[in-house]
Amino acid sequence: MSVRVEPQIKTFLVAEDVRQEKSNKYIVIGIFSGMIKVKDMPARIPLAFFMEFYPVPLGQRNIWLRVTLPQGDQVEMNVLANVKDNSRAMVIPSPRFEVHIEQEGDLKIDVRFDDGEYFAVDNVQISHDPELTPHLFGNKLDAPHDL
């Protein structure tokens, strides 16, 4: 009887976009760290995920991502990976997509591998802030004093 070894998430980032260069480096743009503030509600938010995991059994793997929006709607996507070398962590960037947010609350992200069970990997709070204005440095319009 063989024991199934589930891959472990090493890194999981929620961002606006993830791109892969020809040199195999990744560019992660607009990382969200626990909260996404929007000026208008409802809102359309661009999302992309950067996921690094190990160990990965050799062969073709189905990686499922499920995003549950604050209003309860779910978005599910499948990434197919052909694992030829499992001696190091594997990186999967998701394609960029947009979600339609209708209310404040939690955006929940779950992952499952092949026919395994979904497990939670991130939870991002969506917050409506009608006073939100464009800025260059953090929450201030002026530069930090220690530049």
Do residues 49 and 11 lie in contact, with contact meaning Cβ atoms separated by under 8 Å? no
Taking residues 87-94, report their average pLDDT: 84
Phi-psi bin for 129: left (phi > 0), alpha (psi -120 to 50), beta? beta
User: For position 3, what pLDDT does the model report?
Assistant: 58
In this prediction, residues 7-21 reach a mean pLDDT of 90
The mean per-residue pLDDT over the stretch 58-65 comes to: 87
Between 23 and 89, name the one with better pLDDT.
23
What integer is the mean pLDDT of 21-32? 92
**pLDDT score of 80:** 85
Task: Give the N- to C-terminal CA distance of the chain in Å, as an integer.
Answer: 61
Residue 86 pLDDT level (bands cut at 50, 70, 90) = confident
Q: Which amino acid is at 91?
A: V
Place of tokens 């050799």: 58
In this structure, which amino acid lies at residue 140? K
Residue 118 pLDDT greater than 60, yes or no: yes
The per-residue pLDDT of the chain, averaged, comes to 85
Token pair, residue 129, equals 């802030």
pTM of the model: 0.80
* Averaged pLDDT for residues 23-30: 92
The more confident residue out of 113 and 58 is 113
pLDDT value at position 90? 83
